[in-house]
Chain A
Amino acid sequence: MSIRKEEIRKIAHLARINVSQTELDEVEKKLVGILDLIEKMQEVNTDSIEPMSHALDINQPLREDKVTEKDIRDKSLSLAPHSEQSLFIVPQVIE
């Protein structure tokens, strides 16, 4: 199972992770190995099988529409890499 370097660049972009030119070969080699492993799944026919998202057959519980959370602004702003005037500061978001 091969993966083109172009595809690696694309998924790295989607995942917002830099993969440098030099790293690309290493990454490709390791990914190909894992993809070969995953390919084994195709050995078995699963056409009539229902996918399983959760181990147990239970339903989503619902929460009462009551306020339970208090203002943690001071704490959360203190944990931020950069905050100003109660906002989290990042490089300009261009629409």
Chain B
Amino acid sequence: MSTAPDQQRREESAGLMEYSTESLVPFGPIHPALKEPEYFKLVLEGERIINVIPRIGYVHRGLEKAAESRPWVQNMYMFERTCGICSFVHSVCYGQAVEELTMFQTPRRAKYLRTIILEMERIHSHLLWVGLMGHWAGFDTLFMWVWNDREVVLDLVEAIAGNRVHKSMNAFCGVRRDLPENMTDRIVERMRFLTDRARYYRDVIDTEETMLKRTENMGRVSADTVEKLCAVGPMARYVGLKRDVRFDDPYAAYDEVPLDVITTTQGDVHALLRLRLDELIVSANMVTYAVQNLPDGPIRVKIPPIIPAGEHSSHCEAPRGEIFYYAKSTGGRTPDRIKSRQPTMANIPTALEMLKGQTLADIPIVLTAIDPCFGCMDRMSFYDTETNHKWTWSGEQLRQYGINYYFPERAKKQRDIARKAAPAANQCLKEEF
């Protein structure tokens, strides 16, 4: 980070007149190896990555600004849609930040139900991730089998909440739906099934040559760097830092349900695989315990639509790390300020450190190892080696380029119209295209 002037010089000198061994390769925003668009400028020497310069913000939707003009309850649904995989934990975290401003307490049964759905979401997210790692390692059979088992937990969630992804089950000071009757045995049996499957997959990744060769000794970062860069979730736990919000600052029912925080000191991508599968087994045990010891009582307390003035924050453990929400109220129907910080943002500096020293072909595996969840738009970056001038196309220029390429007659008609309208502007058009 402190070598920014060096970075810039390297960028500008990459591939120029003098014969240099370094090259600048853009990775993204649209790339077959990426789930969501993000743009990395890689400085390579041969095949090894020396430096990475990120550019995120491709799916910036302006949720924090939008939240300031919507009533509190509507924001709960909007923040649920920040992410598809960890949608429930976003609504729980937002709900908790706002509930503390009111005088109402969440009933105990609601806390247990929240814990059950949160852990089921963690199971589904980790299974999704293990499948993706198999896919990027070229091991598509693992991908198919793991996602097959993921259907088990998605069907359970659909039976409880009504929807597989955006559960819409949380409300302020409670949950909206209770467990259906006679579901306890089914849940316990399915959790046992998932535990057996997770143990089997753990065997697979420990013994299968493909996975071992692609994931061992990759993505090593020292524990000191990880702590300084404030990484969260499995990215902190895989180097031995015991950081888990469920343990450090219990919320929902985590002070009553037994929890095991898994850490490992192995420190590479293979360790992340084992870590997440072990966490899956712990989550399945927690769901079994919670379902069998569910307390009686109401599931919801209705609160008035106006939240008293004050400010409060709350953090939760999503499958990817720590989510942080801050809510400030001035006693109205709409919030004054809501800040939400997703775990991937906290993990990006660590991800950049992980990438240094890897080869170009390992980027999908190492990037997916941090379990990224970013988002969308397209840019093209230009570098004129002769004049040393860099510029980026805007969306409008990109669109025009597309028209010129695919519809030459339409482009010609556009140029004729423009030529008749403004003769002085012709010069600019000719130069651009």
Bound pair: A and B? no
Interface residues of B (CB under 8 A from A): none
Interface residues of A (CB under 8 A from B): none
